[in-house]
Amino acid sequence: MRFIALSIAALASVATTVLAAEGEQVKIEVTRAVECERKTQKGDKISVHYRGTLQDGGKQFDASYDRNTPLDFVVGKGSVIKGWDDNLLDMCIGEKRTLTIPPEFGYGNRNMGPIPAGSTLIFETELMGIQGVEAPVSIIEKPASSVADKATEGVKAAVKSKIAEAAEAVKVVIADTDDDGQEHNEL
180 tagged catalytic: no
28 tagged catalytic: no
Question: What is the rounded distance in angstroms from the CA atom of residue 137 to the CA atom of residue 93?
Answer: 11
81 tagged catalytic: yes
Q: Confirm if 39 and 92 have CB atoms less than 8 A apart.
A: yes
Question: What is the rounded distance in angstroms from the CA atom of residue 90 to the CA atom of residue 21?
Answer: 24
Of 20, 24, 29, nearest in space to 150 by CA: 29
130 tagged catalytic: no
State the catalytic residue, choosing from 85, 122, 123, 130.
Answer: 123
State the catalytic residue, choosing from 8, 62, 139, 163.
Answer: 62
Q: Confirm if 107 and 81 have CB atoms less than 8 A apart.
A: yes
DSSP character for 105? G
State the catalytic residue, choosing from 28, 44, 73, 81.
Answer: 81
State the catalytic residue, choosing from 61, 139, 163, 174.
Answer: 61
Q: Confirm if 88 and 46 have CB atoms less than 8 A apart.
A: yes
State the catalytic residue, choosing from 46, 107, 115, 130.
Answer: 107
State the catalytic residue, choosing from 28, 44, 46, 50.
Answer: 50
Q: Confirm if 127 and 30 have CB atoms less than 8 A apart.
A: no
Indicate which residues carry an active-site annotation. Answer: 50, 61-62, 81, 107, 123
